[in-house]
Structure 1
Amino acid sequence: MINNITFWCEPVTTLKNIRSQMNDGGKIALTIQPHEKGATDETSEIIGGQLSALLDQSGFTSIEIFIKPTKPNDTVCALGIK
């Protein structure tokens, strides 16, 4: 899912629903490239922490954060496993 979790009203509830439909061992990837005014590469790092917390609260494990250098700001991807 790319650049859409910020529009979810209840991201933890939504992620729990997604998780309930996944197979054991299934992976989810949440990706954001911040593009709002004033966003920087540091914004991507902060968002990575937020995505990690959302996945953790939703019951995902083995959470990893990856940062890819992109322009105008780095892209962050959070992976979790059911």
Structure 2
Amino acid sequence: MNIKQIAMRATIVASVLGLSACANMSAQDRNTAIGAGVGAVAGSALSGGSALGTVGGAAVGGVIGNQVSKPTR
């Protein structure tokens, strides 16, 4: 197993453990966290394990997750 595979698995485990703390969050907060986790995994996969790709994916995913459940006025 190389370092990229280890980093990918660590990211997935951290995302799953982080999402377990979502019980008392609002729907928008929960969707932001889920979007960031999914975005981090996708960014890492698409960039070949690049740290910049992982962080960028997390940022984009978090924004999308936040806006999906944004309350309407």
TM tier, shorter chain? Answer: 0.3 to 0.5
Q: TM-score, normalised by structure 1?
A: 0.33
TM-score, normalised relative to structure 2: 0.35
Structure holding more helix per residue: 2
